[in-house]
Amino acid sequence: MNCPVCGKEMEQGTCRFYHGRAGDRRLAWVPLDFKGIMTKGRIEQSGGVVTPVHSTIFDNEEQISYCCKDCGKIVIDVR
Ligand SMILES: [Zn+2]
């Protein structure tokens, strides 16, 4: 999928729940091949992103989403 904002190829991945220190709970996006513990370091090392979006529930390994790191956009199917 191409980014609707800049037109570049977006990366495939999934939106996940990131639970950091001191109750820091946020929406993260990780590449499809990400496995294991969701630490900020591991997420960023894999090419993923911990977003500033507060989230307590979004965690779905099967729902594919697309990320454009140039624009900082995530595209998710809603059905
Ligand atoms: Zn873009």
54-64 pLDDT tens trace:
877 777 777 88
Which tops the pLDDT comparison, 79 or 18?
A: 18
- pLDDT score recorded for residue 21: 85
Instruction: Tell me the pLDDT band of 7, cut-offs 50, 70 and 90.
Output: very high
Using the predicted structure, report yes or no on whether residue 29 has a pLDDT greater than 80: yes
Q: Which of 9, 51, 48, 53 is nearest to 32 (CA)?
A: 48
In sequence order, the 6+-apart residues with CB closer than 8 A to the CB of 5 are 68, 71, 73
Average pLDDT over residues 25-33: 94
Find the 43 Cα to ligand 1 centroid distance in Å. 20
- pLDDT score recorded for residue 48: 96
Q: Which residues fall inside 5 Å of ion ligand 1, going by CB? A: 3, 5-6, 68, 70-71
Residue spans of the domains in the chain: they are 11-72
Find the 67 Cα to ligand 1 centroid distance in Å. 8
